[in-house]
Amino acid sequence: MQNATIIEFARQLLVIHGVKACEEAEVHERICVKYGAKRTAETWRNVQTALKDMRH
C-alpha cells in the first residue's frame, strides 16, 4: 500500500474507532501474522506507525 493510502486508511480508522484505532490495527496485525499473511501484517504495522505519528 502506498504511503498516502496508509495515512488515509489510518485517518479513517481513527474516525471509526477513536482512541482504540491503534489497538484495532494491532489486533489485525496479529491475526495476519498468525495466518502467515506477511505483507498484510506489514501494512497493519505501517498503519500503526501512521496512527502514532498522528498523535504527535
How would you write the pLDDT of the chain (56 residues) with one tens digit per residue?
A: 788 999 999 999 999 999 999 999 999 999 999 999 999 999 999 999 999 999 87
Give the end-to-end CA distance of the chain in Å, rounded to a whole number.
23
Whether 41 and 32 have beta carbons less than 8 Å apart is answered as: yes
**14: containing domain:** 3-55
Number of domains in the chain: 1
Classify residue 3 by burial, with Cβ atoms within 10 Å: 0-12, 13-18, 19+.
exposed
The whole-number pLDDT of residue 2 equals: 86
| Angle, helices 21-34/38-55, rounded to nearest 10 degrees | 160
Q: What pTM does this model have?
A: 0.91
